[in-house]
Amino acid sequence: MLRVTEIFRSIQGESTHAGRPCTFVRLTGCPMRCVWCDSEYTFTGGDHYSLEDIVARVHGFECRLVEITGGEPLAQRKAFDLIRQLCDEGFEVLVETGGYVSTADVDERAKVILDVKCPASGEEPRNHWPNLEHLRADKDEVKFVIADRGDWDYAQTVIQKYDLQTKAKAILISPAWEQIDLTTLADWVSASGLNVRLQLQLHKYIWGPDVRGV
Ligand code: SF4
């Protein structure tokens, strides 16, 4: 069984897949507590579903792209089985993870969107650095959520230190919601000359920051 907060179809809002129709399976629970977290409602509650129930519901949305998210989806061991089963059934599977749990056992057909937590999140010490060794350059993406200049400097250091420009399909630079001026961050990104991608959380601009299930 897996504990699930919600299953719904919407528009993928972040990553290079932004704008695509996507079914989301949002699993309950997260061992981290990022100060700017926008998914606190996933920390508790949820309903228990069997793997078969989840897969049946995903089929019901008739959408080839599926994202497993949370919370921290990989904190539940059964999530690895769910990812494998969805891949077996021909879905294109995205896994959005906060970077605390090892991604080593994620099915190789899935596409990982891996957070590297920056200092202002309060969770930087919990980054599981070996995850950066598991990146597949043709499909996996790394995301830095930036709240201030210290985060941006940190992100640049990590990008260079781990050679992420060659190890990841994309490096996503995402502003922490209402924490940082967008033009300032855009100026930093453009001045860096790095092969990174500034991204906004599309779904929040469409439906607002607090709407669930979209
Ligand atoms: S890892 Fe994600 S869900 Fe967990 S506290 Fe951080 S932002 Fe929230």
Which residues is 145 bridged to in the sheet?
Answer: 174
Q: How many CB atoms within 10 Å of residue 162?
A: 17
For residue 59, give the amino acid letter: H
Residue 147 pLDDT greater than 80, yes or no: yes
Structure tokens at 19: 């704008």
Beta-sheet strands, E only, within 20-86: 21-27, 47-49, 65-69
Tens of pLDDT, residues 78-93 = 999 999 999 999 999 9
Q: Measuring CA to CA, how many Å separate 95 from each of 18, 76, 80, 115, 186?
A: 14, 13, 10, 11, 26
Mean pLDDT of the region 143-148: 98
Q: Is 99 in the pocket of ligand 1 (CB under 6 A)?
A: no
User: Rounded to two decimals, what is the model's pTM?
Assistant: 0.95
Cα–Cα distance measured from residue 39 to residue 5, given in angstroms and rounded to the nearest whole number: 10
pLDDT of residue 115: 98
Mean pLDDT of the region 51-57: 98
For residue 89, give the amino acid letter: E
pLDDT of residue 194: 98
Mean pLDDT of the region 70-81: 97
Cα–Cα distance measured from residue 141 to residue 198, given in angstroms and rounded to the nearest whole number: 13
Q: Determine the distance separating the centroid of ligand 1 and the alpha carbon of 23, expressed in angstroms.
A: 20
pLDDT of residue 214: 65
Mean pLDDT of the region 142-151: 98
**Local confidence band at 7 (pLDDT 50, 70, 90 cut-offs):** very high
Smallest CA separation from ligand 1 atom 1, residue: 98
Which atom of ligand 1 lies closest to the CA of 145? 7
Query: Under a CB-based contact definition with an 8 Å cutoff, are residues 132 and 105 in contact?
Result: no
* pLDDT above 90: percentage of residues in the chain: 93
Structure tokens at 136: 């597949």
Cα–Cα distance measured from residue 89 to residue 95, given in angstroms and rounded to the nearest whole number: 16
Q: Determine the distance separating the centroid of ligand 1 and the alpha carbon of 37, expressed in angstroms.
A: 5
Tens of pLDDT, residues 183-212 = 999 999 999 999 999 999 888 888 888 777
Q: Is 72 in the pocket of ligand 1 (CB under 6 A)?
A: yes
Q: Determine the distance separating the centroid of ligand 1 and the alpha carbon of 22, expressed in angstroms.
A: 20
Under DSSP, is residue 189 helix (H, G, I), strand (E, B) or coil? helix
In testing the pocket of ligand 1, which one of 34, 95, 101, 123 has its CB within 8 Å of the most ligand atoms? 34
Average of per-residue pLDDT values in the chain: 96
pLDDT of residue 204: 86
Q: Is 37 in the pocket of ligand 1 (CB under 6 A)?
A: yes
